[in-house]
A and B are shown apart, each in its own frame.
Chain A
Amino acid sequence: GQNIDQPTEMTATEGAIVQINCTYQTSGFNGLFWYQQHAGEAPTFLSYNVLDGLEEKGRFSSFLSRSKGYSYLLLKELQMKDSASYLCAVRDDKIIFGKGTRLHILP
């Protein structure tokens, strides 16, 4: 079966660093996405990993280990606007989303 797990909620402080983990078990794998979704809005693309390792893009970085079925999204220098849900999604023959991690940023 297809399964993607990520924490339901996390809380962090403005200016700090937070790591959101995602583990997956899928029949196939052709890449892993991270999306950001603010309440009441559509998801927006953050990153895409297909090979093992760390991809850095400004304040956001995404890591993938295919052998472990594991990824994380690292957010640095947190800002209040980073309060949102973060969705992990795996591309098999289609794209399967996790339930998302709701991130709360405290001042």
Chain B
Amino acid sequence: GAGVSQTPSNKVTEKGKYVELRCDPISGHTALYWYRQSLGQGPEFLIYFQGTGAADDSGLPNDRFFAVRPEGSVSTLKIQRTERGDSAVYLCASSLIGAETQYFGPGTRLLVL
């Protein structure tokens, strides 16, 4: 079956621009997570959805970052007024509620010039 997919796989943008990153979780998975990973670091938690609602958004670094999941499936991470420090790999993962295994997507590599 299909795994977690993320688009685009790579995104190059200029400082100050707006970007949207998309995540398609595994069908039937109600939990969805966004992480950010910089080179040589582990994934850094950003936000967690249960269904349509953000159950925990404490990892979002500032108000330039926002994520939605309007129908409880696909999620979009939105970054306004991008900064060079936002450059990283943005990972999405999904899991069944109550299950412990998270399945990660391939990530979106964001480069802000």
Contacts and interface: CB of A to CB of B under 8 A. Distances in A.
Given A33-B100, A94-B59, A97-B44, 18 more contacts: A42-B91, A42-B104, A42-B106, A42-B107, A43-B43, A44-B104, A45-B101, A48-B100, A48-B101, A50-B100, A87-B43, A91-B100, A94-B48, A94-B56, A94-B58, A99-B41, A99-B42, A100-B40
Interface in A67-107: 87, 89, 91, 93-100
A45 B103 contact: yes
Interface residues of B, number: 21
Q: What 3 A-B pairs come out closest when comparing CB atoms? A: A97-B42, A42-B104, A48-B100
A45 to B, nearest CB: 5
A12 B37 CA distance: 26
A93 B44 contact: no
B42 A89 contact: yes
A7 interface: no
Contacts of A96: 45
A93 B107 contact: no
Contacts of B100: 31, 33, 48, 50, 91
A22 to B, nearest CB: 11
Interface in B91-108: 91, 100-107
Contact of A100 (B35, B41, B59, B102): B41
| Chain A interface residue number, banded | 20 to 34
Nearest to A50: B100
Given A43-B104, A45-B102, A94 B45 contact: yes
Interface in B27-67: 33, 35, 40-45, 48, 56, 58-59
B104 to A, nearest CB: 4
Nearest to A100: B42
Contacts of A43: 43, 91, 104
Contacts of A99: 40-42
A15 to B, nearest CB: 28
Contacts of A33: 100
Contacts of B42: 4, 87, 89, 97-100
